[in-house]
Amino acid sequence: MLKDVPFTARCTRCGNQSLTKPDRLALDTPMDCDICGYSGTVVEFADIAVLEAMLKQISDAAGLVH
């Protein structure tokens, strides 16, 4: 689950890793880099392990519906 994976992210423009976790952790949640000002979404900033955990959580939730 996502609770087991710490939120890690980096700016794709400048490489800044001092990004704070957004209030709402969803793929389309907006994020900004405080260093260079680059704006994007969680899917652009989050590290692969975080994205994999988010996608697993989404697919597991979809499995419960069906």
Query: For 33-58, what is each residue's pLDDT tens digit?
Result: 999 999 999 999 999 999 999 999 88
* Average pLDDT of the segment spanning 15-44: 94
Q: What is the mean pLDDT of residues 10-29?
A: 93
What percent of the chain lies above the pLDDT cut of 90? 70
**How many structural domains is the chain composed of?**
1
The residue assigned the tokens 């880099």 is 33
Helices marked H in the chain: 42-45, 48-65
Q: Does an H or E element contain 34, and which?
A: none
* Residue among 2, 1, 20, 24 nearest 11 (CA): 20
Q: From CA 47, how far away is CA 61, in angstroms rounded? A: 22
Tell me the residue range of the domain where 50 lies: 2-65
- Contact in structure between 49 and 56 (CB atoms under 8 Å): no
Judged against a pLDDT cut of 60, whether residue 66 lies above it is answered with no
Amino acid at 13: R
Per the model's pLDDT, the better-predicted residue between 16 and 2 turns out to be 16
